[in-house]
């Protein structure tokens, strides 16, 4: 049951309720939902709901009408995020777990880990204790296998997950791995569930072969009731009458689970389909359906795998899948981050002055704006954010060391480049160290209870109006431009006039507790903004894929062609070319170029030398 407390309940009255629950053997959690204080309890300590309702300081009692309590969304309205090393499961970034079915030997594991890490996996998998259908099949390497997994973490900085098949292995898995997996066959091994509930490490709980969603959540409830709230649910296909796939992948479990529980859910298309060719299509569908992550079997030599070779991807197939997911994820407001682990390390180990706290990133506008969202997407939740009022202030803050990073929008797929930021990149001596692309969705946001027909005046950033032109033209509204979309929402909230609305993202509606009156009203849904991250120094975060340069050429025939030819001769693909007027020199231009190469890599030094010869001015903005 949920005991909703009066806002002004005294500590004494609250303690009294807690001790009644404690003495009655209930497991309870204190919850804060949209400013309300609630105690969620798994039992009623032998008292009827009316008894609690009559206690001083209690507003009302709401029964939790599902069999599962602690895992229920009612008990914890916000999504749970589970920290695994530098990785956060359940956030905006898709978490891809990859590796072979079983640890077979050191070479196989190190080779596979190196590949999946390179292509974007953030957690490594491998079974050391294999629950096999046949007692004659390979049963796993045991502790030797776990030691190899621990070496993967040391070498590649990837957390590792492995399956536990009996409580007797608890000490061993605790010693070597970051996440313990409970396999499909053990989903209702209640002694094992209680054991992992006490281990204090995140648990990846697979759905049983024939388990209903409720049975699966009841198994998660076992783990939470032992005090471990860090459970990642993993759908891996269920038994049906269909023989063309190993199991039937229940993707509809994703929206069902998202509604019923706050726990993150990932999809294992490998065990679900059992056939390599079917894995990528289902992985793409899982991301589109809202999964928080994937678990994919990848083997460096699947044809010689000791288990599940037929469903294991070749590393090249995994690379292709990751690139596809990178494109799909922003459509559903998520991100595949190829730099996830490197970035986390680089930010974590940044040099900062004595006593300085963690890294700080500056962005324009309010909490809930697209820039804010892009910051969280790029850095995760372990960065301090600093909100400023102009783009120039972002560059200043980074230059003056008040911030380590700045994040600025550089172009939009509909409205083109943000020229002010191009000019600032030229003026300031900062480096581009990363980029991120966000899908921009606009909603009509108003006061709870208001309807679209009540609206007379609408606030937004001018780009918001421009991007929702068709929708706006159907109404006779007064348009009020403000500096960012989140500010528009705050503004209408503060004014309290129910005939006013704002055009903004759904995050702003959530933050300010306002209602979405109409969703997805932008004229063109293919609306993306690309942001770049600037810093004083390059990040030590591994291989770079892209570079940005600015150059100018003399005003003579063929000079731009000569510069471009340097890239062509080196087989380098340009992804953007734009010209900007040079201030104070009418009709002379700077060229801004993005290309697919790390021009600061030693191997490309001759290219830069040649480019210098062909240009009057050259500045490398950064490689990332």
Question: Which residues are part of the catalytic machinery?
Answer: 529, 531
Chain residue whose CB lies nearest Mn ion: 101
- Least Å distance between CB 473 and ligand PEP? 52
Q: Between residue 196 and residue 225, which ones bind ligand PEP under the rule CB under 6 A?
A: 206
**Do 337 and 437 meet the contact criterion of CB atoms below 8 Å apart?**
no
Closer residue to ligand PEP in complex, CB, 248/417 = 248
Count of residues touching Mn ion (by CB under 5 A): 2
Chain center to CA of 371: 15
Closer residue to ligand PEP in complex, CB, 138/338 = 138
Closer residue to ligand PEP in complex, CB, 180/445 = 180
The entry of Mn ion, ligand PEP, none near residue 262 (CB within 5 to 8 angstroms by kind) is none
Rg of the chain in Å (alpha carbons)? 27
Residue 446 has φ and ψ, to the nearest 5°, of -140, -165
Closer residue to ligand PEP in complex, CB, 131/542 = 131
Stretch that binds Mn ion, among 48-56, 98-106, 500-508, 537-545 (CB under 5 A): 98-106
- Least Å distance between CB 123 and ligand PEP? 13
Q: Between residue 264 and residue 303, which ones bind ligand PEP under the rule CB under 6 A?
A: 271
Closer residue to Mn ion in complex, CB, 236/262 = 236
Closer residue to ligand PEP in complex, CB, 292/342 = 292
CA distance 516 to 520: 10
Residue 336 in the binding site for Mn ion (CB under 5 A): no
Encode 563-614 in three state secondary structure: HHHHHHHCCCCEEEEEEEEECCEEEEEEEEEEECCCCCCHHHHHHHHHHHHH
CA distance 612 to 604: 13
Residue 284 has φ and ψ, to the nearest 5°, of -65, -40
**Do 311 and 274 meet the contact criterion of CB atoms below 8 Å apart?**
yes
The entry of ligand PEP, Mn ion, none near residue 140 (CB within 5 to 8 angstroms by kind) is none
Among 236, 246, 360, 546, binds ligand PEP (CB under 6 A): 236
Smallest CA-to-CA distance from 87 within 78, 98, 76, 71 is with 98
Chain center to CA of 443: 22
Among 4, 21, 31, 101, binds ligand PEP (CB under 6 A): 101
The entry of Mn ion, ligand PEP, none near residue 184 (CB within 5 to 8 angstroms by kind) is ligand PEP
Chain residue whose CB lies nearest ligand PEP: 183
- Least Å distance between CB 195 and ligand PEP? 17
Smallest CA-to-CA distance from 593 within 574, 606, 609, 607 is with 574
- Least Å distance between CB 249 and ligand PEP? 11
CA distance 160 to 145: 12
Chain center to CA of 356: 27
**What is the contact mask toward ligand PEP in residues 422 to 461, using x (rule: CB under 6 A)?**
----------------------------------------
CA distance 531 to 589: 23
**Do 486 and 442 meet the contact criterion of CB atoms below 8 Å apart?**
no
User: Cβ–Cβ contacts within 10 Å for residue 434, how many?
Assistant: 24
**Do 437 and 575 meet the contact criterion of CB atoms below 8 Å apart?**
no
The entry of ligand PEP, Mn ion, none near residue 388 (CB within 5 to 8 angstroms by kind) is none
- Least Å distance between CB 438 and ligand PEP? 33
The entry of ligand PEP, Mn ion, none near residue 91 (CB within 5 to 8 angstroms by kind) is none
Smallest CA-to-CA distance from 373 within 417, 468, 326, 439 is with 439
Instruction: Encode burial over 476-504: b for 16+ CB neighbours within 10 A, e otherwise.
Output: ebeeeebebbbbbbbbbbeeeebebbbbb
Closer residue to ligand PEP in complex, CB, 165/548 = 165
- Least Å distance between CB 101 and Mn ion? 3
Q: What is the DSSP string of 355-384?
A: T--S-EEEEES-TTSHHHHHHHHHHTTSSE
The entry of ligand PEP, Mn ion, none near residue 24 (CB within 5 to 8 angstroms by kind) is none
Closer residue to ligand PEP in complex, CB, 139/541 = 139
The entry of Mn ion, ligand PEP, none near residue 86 (CB within 5 to 8 angstroms by kind) is none
The entry of Mn ion, ligand PEP, none near residue 106 (CB within 5 to 8 angstroms by kind) is none
Among 177, 184, 217, 291, binds ligand PEP (CB under 6 A): 184
- Both tokens of residue 617? 């001015």
Closer residue to Mn ion in complex, CB, 184/482 = 184
Q: Between residue 144 and residue 183, which ones bind ligand PEP under the rule CB under 6 A?
A: 183
CA torsion sign for 328, 332, 337, 341 is negative
Stretch that binds Mn ion, among 80-88, 95-103, 362-370, 550-558 (CB under 5 A): 95-103
Count of residues touching ligand PEP (by CB under 6 A): 9
Burial status of residue 564 (CB atoms within 10 A of its CB: 0-12, 13-18, 19 or more): middle
Strand-pair category, 293-297 with 265-267: parallel
The entry of ligand PEP, Mn ion, none near residue 183 (CB within 5 to 8 angstroms by kind) is ligand PEP
Closer residue to ligand PEP in complex, CB, 91/237 = 237
Residue 101 in the binding site for Mn ion (CB under 5 A): yes
- Range list of β-strands (E), 194-343: 203-206, 231-235, 265-267, 293-297
What percent of the chain is helix, strand and coil (3-state, nearest 5)?
Answer: 35, 25, 40
Residue 161 in the binding site for Mn ion (CB under 5 A): no
**What is the contact mask toward Mn ion in residues 305 to 334, using x (rule: CB under 5 A)?**
---x--------------------------
Among 90, 91, 120, 127, binds ligand PEP (CB under 6 A): 127
Q: Between residue 250 and residue 309, which ones bind Mn ion under the rule CB under 5 A?
A: 308
Sites of contact with Mn ion (CB under 5 A) = 101, 308
Sites of contact with ligand PEP (CB under 6 A) = 101, 127, 131, 183-185, 206, 236, 271
């Amino acid at each position: 049951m949920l005991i909703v407390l009066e806002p002004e309940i005294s500590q004494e009255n609250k303690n009294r309720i807690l001790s009644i629950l404690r003495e009655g053997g209930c497991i309870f959690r204190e919850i804060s939902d949209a400013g309300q204080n609630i105690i969620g309890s798994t039992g009623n300590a032998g008292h009827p709901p009316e008894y609690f309702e009559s206690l001083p300081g209690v507003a009302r009692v709401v029964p939790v009408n599902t069999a599962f309590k602690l895992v229920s969304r009612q008990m914890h309205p916000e999504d749970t995020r589970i920290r695994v090393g530098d990785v956060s499961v359940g956030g905006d970034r898709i978490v891809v777990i990859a590796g072979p079915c079983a640890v077979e030997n050191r070479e196989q594991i190190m080779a596979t880990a190196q590949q999946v890490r390179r292509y974007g996996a953030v957690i490594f998998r491998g079974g050391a204790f294999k629950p096999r259908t046949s007692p004659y099949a390979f049963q796993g390497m045991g502790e030797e296998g776990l030691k190899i997994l621990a070496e993967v973490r040391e070498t590649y900085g990837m957390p590792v997950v492995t399956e536990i098949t009996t409580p007797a292995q608890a000490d061993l898995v605790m010693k070597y791995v970051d996440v313990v997996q409970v396999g499909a066959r053990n989903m209702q091994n209640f002694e094992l569930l209680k054991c992992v509930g006490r281990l204090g490490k995140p648990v990846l709980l697979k759905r049983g072969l024939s388990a209903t969603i409720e049975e699966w959540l009841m198994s998660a409830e076992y783990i939470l009731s032992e005090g471990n709230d860090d459970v990642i649910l993993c759908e891996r296909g269920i038994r049906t009458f269909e023989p063309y796939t190993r199991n039937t992948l229940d993707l509809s479990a994703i929206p069902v689970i998202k509604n019923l529980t706050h726990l993150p859910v990932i999809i294992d298309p490998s065990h679900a389909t059992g056939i390599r060719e079917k894995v990528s299509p289902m992985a793409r569908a899982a991301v589109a359906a809202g999964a928080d992550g994937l678990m994919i079997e990848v083997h460096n030599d699947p044809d010689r795998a000791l288990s599940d070779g037929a469903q294991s991807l070749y590393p090249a197939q995994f690379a292709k899948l990751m690139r596809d997911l990178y494109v799909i994820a922003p459509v559903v407001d998520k991100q595949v981050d190829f730099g996830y682990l490197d970035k986390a390390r680089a930010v974590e180990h940044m040099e900062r002055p004595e006593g300085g706290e963690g890294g700080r990133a500056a962005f324009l506008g309010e909490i809930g704006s697209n820039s804010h969202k892009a910051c969280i997407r790029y850095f995760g939740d372990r960065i301090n954010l600093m909100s400023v009022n102009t783009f120039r202030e972002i560059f200043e803050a980074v230059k003056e060391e008040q911030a380590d990073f700045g994040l600025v929008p550089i172009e939009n797929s509909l409205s083109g480049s943000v020229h002010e930021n191009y000019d600032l990149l030229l003026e300031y001596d900062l480096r581009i160290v990363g980029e991120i692309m966000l899908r921009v969705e606009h909603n009509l946001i108003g006061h709870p209870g208001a309807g679209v027909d009540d609206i007379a005046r609408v606030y937004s950033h001018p780009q918001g109006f421009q991007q929702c032109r068709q929708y706006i033209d159907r109404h006779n509204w007064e348009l009020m431009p403000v500096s960012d979309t989140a500010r528009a929402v705050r503004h209408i909230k503060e004014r309290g006039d129910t005939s006013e609305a704002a055009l903004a993202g759904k995050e702003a509606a959530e933050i300010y507790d306002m209602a979405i009156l109409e969703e997805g009203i932008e004229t063109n849904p293919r609306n993306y903004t690309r942001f770049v991250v600037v810093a004083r120094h390059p990040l030590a975060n591994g291989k770079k894929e892209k570079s940005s340069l600015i150059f100018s050429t003399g005003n003579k025939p063929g000079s731009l062609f000569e510069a471009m030819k340097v890239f062509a001769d080196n087989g380098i693909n340009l992804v953007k070319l734009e010209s900007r007027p040079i201030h104070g020199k009418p009709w002379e231009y700077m060229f801004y170029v993005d290309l697919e190469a790390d021009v600061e890599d030693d191997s490309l030094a001759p290219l830069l030398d040649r480019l210098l010869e062909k240009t009057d001015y050259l500045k490398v903005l950064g490689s990332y």
